[in-house]
Amino acid sequence: MNSTTTQAPAATLKTVIGLEVHAQVLTRSKMYCSCSADYANAEPNTHVCMVCLGLPGALPVMNQQAIETVIRTGLALNCEIPDYCKMDRKNYVYPDLPKGYQISQYDLPLCINGSLEITVDGVTRTAGITRVHIEEDTGRLVHDIAANEGLSLVDLNRSGVPLMEIVGEPDLTTPEEAREYLVALRRILRAIGASTGNMEEGAFRCDANISVRAEDGSFIGPKVEIKNMNSFRAVERALKYEEIRQREAVANGEELFQETRGWVDAQGITVSQRSKEAAHDYRYFPEPDLPPLHISRELVTSIADTVGELPVDRERRFAAELGLSGSDAALLNTERGIADFFEEAIAGNTSNGYPQQVANWLLNDVMGFARTRGMAADEFPINSGQLRELVNLVVGKQLTGTAAKTVLAELAVDESPSAAAERLNLLAMDDNGAVLDAAREAMAAQPAAVADFRSGKQAAIGRLMGETMKRTGGRANADDVRAALLSLLNEE
Ligand SMILES: [Zn+2]
């Protein structure tokens, strides 16, 4: 048995983590046939053909769009794209794999030697990417429908959907870094349109390797693989649990095994699934039905032109050139759709403080409002032109902040915010006489506050301001209200 028993090492232990991500490649059709890859709402076994059912004699045809998308991913991850790569058969037997093998890549993948920038607690560093290769997804076993009869059913809609495996170097040293690696990776995949990155739907899956070793090399623990983690939070929790389990084992002189463990989310623990000895021997060999690929430099250059500005660069530009706070620049770049909406809304106006005002309204009010309506992060209840006009009305003091929030909530589809403000009678009072009238009424309604203020309690003006604002329906600017009250209070 492959295990390590040890005396607790004298040197400090460090944790070593490497992640393997499987991401479905966003394509119209499957990897080797013309079946639609968009099977999310389909009846079982309706997106299938001879090829993805693995019927004898059916021949695969390479999906060029999938190959180019994986190369684009590799370029976004700073990978080298070798001139030559090939497909290999990975052989194993499982009910969701009709052919008895997966077409994958073994020793010559599409992309190698990349890197990914991650930031944890304000510290930025680079984690290595060993390789990105293409393979095909398997079918799915469905246990719940026929569970009563003790049956499992097979749905092959997913069989043959293009999948890329992104193998990270064992460069990560904490569970927090592992989580941040996944966040950064998914953000890139979504930004370049390579994958939906949707973890709940299984379009983005992660396995982790973790071990502990002594800083001085006097002890190297066996590598433990963890599976079954269905969210970024689960990855972080599973790695934290496993890090502690392994460190305690070492401290107590207990045995550690090279094994695969499954994360049990409900209990917050990992449990042993199989030892290294039981691991598969996949008997890889070159796929005889597909020719090797020669990747021309012209193709790589033309794909590189489609990568576009990466989220981390856009985030830096938002801070450096638009004057946004670092945290807002990061928030706006969690999804490309949000960053695009923001840039449309500012429409090139980078004047002092303006982008930050638009960012405040977008992040706090518009997106907050969208959340209360159950909209997705990159769906918006108004369009970018409406947001721009709304902010401009506030900047131009034609709407108070309070009134603008009401306009936002009441705005009809494609209605101009100024038209809505007029319809709702919310345009700011620029009539000083009307503000003075409201202030007089407020003073009459709150004689105690007036007396307090005149006896030296300056804070009492707050009550009068609130009362005046109420009487103007939130349409008066706070500065105007204060000035009007002060002039009246100091009259006598
Ligand atoms: Zn098919």
193-207, pLDDT tens digit by residue? 999 999 988 999 999
Q: Report CA(25)–ligand 1 centroid distance (Å).
A: 16
Position 412 pLDDT exceeds 90: no
Q: What is the predicted pLDDT for the residue at 197? A: 94
3-state SS assignment for residue 182? helix
* Coil/strand/helix, residue 194: coil
Q: How far apart are CA 202 and CA 372, in angstroms?
A: 26
pLDDT in tens, 68-87: 999 999 999 999 999 999 99
Return the pLDDT at 232.
95
Q: Where are the alpha helices (DSSP H) in 192-296?
A: 232-251
Do 136 and 25 form a contact (C-beta atoms < 8 A)? no
- Tokens representing 40 are 């999310």
End-to-end CA distance of the chain: 95
Which residue is listed with tokens 């985030």? 315
Which tokens go with 85? Answer: 């790569």
Cβ atoms of 194 and 138 within 8 Å: the answer is no
Token pair of 432 as six digits: 């000083």
Residues whose CB falls within 8 Å of the CB of residue 297, separated by 6 or more in sequence, listed in order: 83
| Location of structure tokens 């607690």 | 121
> What mean pLDDT comes out for the span 58-65?
96
DSSP state of 37: S
**Token couple for 416:** 């101009």
Q: What single string gives the DSSP state of each residue in 326-375?
A: HHHHHHHTSSHHHHHHHHHHHTT---TTHHHHHHHIIIIIIHHHHHHTT-
> H-helix or E-strand containing 127?
strand 123-136
Q: How far is the CA of 59 from the centre of ligand 1 (A)?
A: 11
Whether 413 has a pLDDT exceeding 50, the answer reads yes
* Average pLDDT score over residue span 87-98: 94
In whole angstroms, give the CA distance from residue 403 to residue 206.
47
What's residue 190's pLDDT?
A: 94
Q: Distance between CA atoms of 366 and 408, rounded to whole angstroms? A: 8
Q: What is the pTM of this model?
A: 0.84
CA 65 to ligand 1 centroid distance, Å: 16
H-helix or E-strand containing 123?
A: strand 123-136
The amino acid at 443: M
E strand spans, 72-122:
84-85, 88-91, 101-104, 111-120
What's the 198 CA to ligand 1 centre distance in angstroms? 23
Expressed in angstroms and rounded, the spacing between residue 30 Cα and the centre of ligand 1 is 7
Distance 55 CA to ligand 1 centre (A): 10
In tens, the pLDDT along 302-350 reads 999 999 999 999 999 999 999 999 999 999 998 889 999 999 999 999 9
Res. 279 pLDDT band, cuts 50 70 90: low
pLDDT score at 4: 56
Residue 93 phi/psi, 5° resolution? -110, 120
- Per-residue pLDDT, 13: 93
Q: Ligand 1 centroid vs 168 CA: distance in angstroms?
A: 31
The predicted model gives 398-427 an average pLDDT of: 89
Burial track 144-162 (b if 16+ CB lie within 10 A, e otherwise): eeeeeeeeeebbbbbbbbb
Dihedral (C-alpha) 440, 445, 447, 450: value to the nearest 10 degrees? Answer: -40
Q: Which amino acid is at 12?
A: T
DSSP bridge pairs for 24: 163
277 DSSP 8-state letter: G
pLDDT band at 394 (very low <50, low <70, confident <90, very high): very high
What six digits make up the tokens of 192? Answer: 């370049």
The rounded Å distance from CA 203 to ligand 1 centre is 18
Q: How far is the CA of 291 from the centre of ligand 1 (A)?
A: 20
Compute the distance from residue 156 Cα to the ligand 1 centre, in Å.
9
Identify the band that residue 1 occupies on the pLDDT scale cut at 50, 70 and 90. Answer: very low
CA of 436 to the centre of ligand 1 (A): 75
Q: Is pLDDT at 491 greater than 90 in this prediction?
A: no
Distance of CA 96 from the midpoint of ligand 1 (Å): 15
Encode pLDDT of 128-146 as tens digits.
999 999 999 999 998 876 6
The pLDDT value given to residue 145 = 67
**Cα(462) to centroid(ligand 1), Å:** 70
Half-sphere exposure of residue 320: CA atoms within 13 angstroms, side-chain side = 6
Ligand 1 midpoint to CA 52 (Å): 4
Across the strands, what pairs with 17? Answer: 172, 210
Chain-wide mean pLDDT for the chain? 91
What is the whole-number distance in angstroms between the Cα of residue 37 and the centre of ligand 1?
9
Residues belonging to the chain: 492
Structure tokens at 397: 């003091």
Cα separations (Å) of 217 from 2, 10, 11, 78, 334? 19, 11, 9, 30, 39
CA distance 42 to 324: 44
CA–centroid distance, 68 to ligand 1, in Å, is: 20
d(CA 69, ligand 1 centre) in Å? 20
Count of beta carbons in the 10 Å neighbourhood of residue 258:
18
Q: How far apart are CA 117 and CA 129, in angstroms?
A: 10
3-class SS shares of the chain: helix, strand, coil, % to 5: 40, 20, 40
pLDDT in tens, 7-35: 566 669 999 999 999 999 999 999 999 99
Spatial separation of the C-alpha atoms in residues 379 and 393, rounded to whole Å: 23
- Tell me, what's the pLDDT at 6? 54
Mean pLDDT of 355-367: 94
Burial class (CB in 10 A: 0-12, 13-18, 19+), 13: middle
